[in-house]
Structure 1
């Protein structure tokens, strides 16, 4: 069967949609294709506004109206991206069994018993004429888990399909970084979030250099990490916690970042960027188990050659390899994972890894919205 997945991550820069084919009998998977859509400036601005704690709404504004309009706008971007991928692949909606849609995380506080990914599943199913599975994190949180990361089960299934079962990890370098670690055949995977990755570097690039990101780490490469600032950032209590753990903009927000940087006003902007890159590397290095021999890398950070060079140097002799070696484009991995999770849902199969999230048990994840045809 053909299944689709759509993902907008903590970088809040756009939507990735991927298609995979799954053999219902053997469960073998094949990647079919993917597309990416960049958010308009207005939509991205509203999504970031809604992620602020507290959101800084203007005078006489309608916060609920802003939320509902952003949800509709985001859902229609998902729908347009799905339709674009169908045209690209020459597929009809009837060729697709289900669409797994992540939505945009606005709050993630499993310690308080909630996580929220904004999306209108009913509208998406109607707009695409495909059954939709969304709200995929809430069940794991209801079972006492972190609700994140959810991709390790897919990583394990994909790598096992390539004959890889042990001493291997998958590193996602998105807005935040997370790891999936394979111990061996029949042994539960472990993993979790490591810490900030692109989110803080992107914030600094946009604020100080008026750039969307530090392209290829050029700014960071022109500066030098400041040990004092790095120590200040590393003092965040998240880094001292053991897995299972997950994080997001709720914890690593602008207010926290600004308070850290304010203590080091004499630093050059380039040195701050270099320090943020060093923080990303330190978070990954401290999370990587000693038995891992090779790491497959995905996410936007995989394209940052300065970041990859520092990871390879710091974590030597571990091999860092592109996820493309396993037949998946780096930008499509998380979208493909949510396609797989949707397939698990309609098959009545477990989607989470309690060994990663800390949930009491495995569960079927997500809420199913039927399209108008009621397939």
Structure 2
């Protein structure tokens, strides 16, 4: 099958992640070849964060088109630079799978989602056919269009034991991988991952994130604030379910506590970290009580204190990051969109109805020729 490149910028908007991956002729995974993190220009990132947090903010068609083009250019440059680093031309890459940048996601009332980043620009700049708009086919068949990574998690990490893969980006989601012959793969968004932690750090430290969770570790847990957070109805909704930064943001946090401004900021950060840990752990205990291991990927895998708290909260599970199982936790999602691209090119389905709630498996996305 050859080389495919996956492109993703998630809810944390850290950068456009590009991963070049090799697949066998039968489309099975072989290896991660090379990666690149391509940062957004600061002003563009700030504008996108504002849209994520306040999706009902009016925006003109001109501005929407401008953002679509600007994001497409950033994605194209990420892929083109990675190709130059590897000495690859367009004919040597089978496909690029571009997730785009989510700016709106409503699977419940409008049953649609919006990812910006013009794939025509990516195809034109790289000379590689580009697979994009990877969520809406699932939604057209009644699904949430998310999460999409469980199928990839199953392809890479499934073994004889029941395991859980936790992707902790801005939003956290889990994939339950049942042991051989013991059921279907399923998963869902458990709630906030890094989104609230990053927003609180940006607001009070002027930093985009809390390195290693050191600031959270310096604070004291506020049990009452934690319980008010966990009382949100989202945590009790049945799967399939998905969410985003438009739901879990600082406005959501302020609504949990009228006296938030009077609290020590490090104590709030400590409590927000525990909210991520507890919502993840509770979901795992409820939906995968027989799991033997937890594999963590995404930015949360680099948060030392968060990993310590997950390990302590789930003492029965062997907790590690996906690096111990062959794929660096920073690059699982980008690699997953390379995997989805090659499946689309081959006419193979990419969704799991048991995860998204779709009526049937479908081929995801559209193909934009070079």
Q: CA deviation at 1:146?
A: 1.1
- Contact 1:208 1:269 (C-alpha < 8 Å) held by counterparts: yes
Q: In the aligned structure 1, how far is the partner of 2:240 from the partner of 2:30? A: 28
Q: CA deviation at 1:52?
A: 3.7
Q: CA deviation at 1:165?
A: 4.1
The range that moved more, 310-319 or 251-260, is 251-260
Q: In the aligned structure 1, how far is the partner of 2:55 from the partner of 2:340? A: 32
1:169 aligns with 2:169: no
Q: In the aligned structure 2, how far is the partner of 1:245 from the partner of 1:98? A: 30
Query: How many residues get paired?
Result: 364
Q: In the aligned structure 1, how far is the partner of 2:199 from the partner of 2:246? A: 15
Q: CA deviation at 1:115?
A: 1.1
Q: In the aligned structure 2, how far is the partner of 1:53 from the partner of 1:206? A: 17
Q: CA deviation at 1:261?
A: 3.8
Other-structure match for 2:264: 268
Other-structure match for 2:106: 109
- Contact 1:9 1:175 (C-alpha < 8 Å) held by counterparts: yes
Q: In the aligned structure 2, how far is the partner of 1:26 from the partner of 1:254? A: 42
1:20 aligns with 2:18: no
Other-structure match for 2:121: 123
Other-structure match for 2:252: 256
Q: CA deviation at 1:55?
A: 5.4
Q: CA deviation at 1:67?
A: 2.0
Q: Which runs of 5+ in 1 are unaligned?
A: none
Q: CA deviation at 1:25?
A: 2.3
Q: CA deviation at 1:253?
A: 3.0
- Contact 2:75 2:117 (C-alpha < 8 Å) held by counterparts: no
Q: CA deviation at 1:90?
A: 2.4
Other-structure match for 2:187: 191
SS across alignment from 1:350: coil
Q: CA deviation at 1:54?
A: 4.8
SS across alignment from 2:144: coil
Other-structure match for 1:285: 281
- Contact 1:50 1:67 (C-alpha < 8 Å) held by counterparts: no
Q: CA deviation at 1:88?
A: 2.2
SS across alignment from 1:192: strand
Spell out, residue by residue over 1:194-217, the C-alpha distance to the aligned partner (whole angstroms, 9 max, x if none): 110111000000001111111111
- Contact 1:182 1:189 (C-alpha < 8 Å) held by counterparts: yes
SS across alignment from 1:103: strand
SS across alignment from 1:320: strand
Spell out, residue by residue over 1:175-195, the C-alpha distance to the aligned partner (whole angstroms, 9 max, x if none): 011111111235320111111
Q: Which runs of 5+ in 2 are unaligned?
A: none
Q: In the aligned structure 2, how far is the partner of 1:312 from the partner of 1:6? A: 30
Q: CA deviation at 1:87?
A: 2.0
- Find the partner of 1:146 among 144, 148, 151: 144
- Contact 2:281 2:314 (C-alpha < 8 Å) held by counterparts: yes
Q: In the aligned structure 2, how far is the partner of 1:148 from the partner of 1:202? A: 22
SS across alignment from 2:262: coil
Spell out, residue by residue over 1:64-108, the C-alpha distance to the aligned partner (whole angstroms, 9 max, x if none): 222222221111111111112112222222110100000111111
Sort the Cα spacing of 1:44 and 1:170 in 2 relative to 1 into closer, same or farther, 3 A.
same
Q: CA deviation at 1:312?
A: 0.2
Q: In the aligned structure 2, how far is the partner of 1:99 from the partner of 1:55? A: 31
Other-structure match for 2:35: 34
TM-score, normalised by the number of residues in structure 1 = 0.93
Spell out, residue by residue over 1:258-281, the C-alpha distance to the aligned partner (whole angstroms, 9 max, x if none): 222434443100000001000000
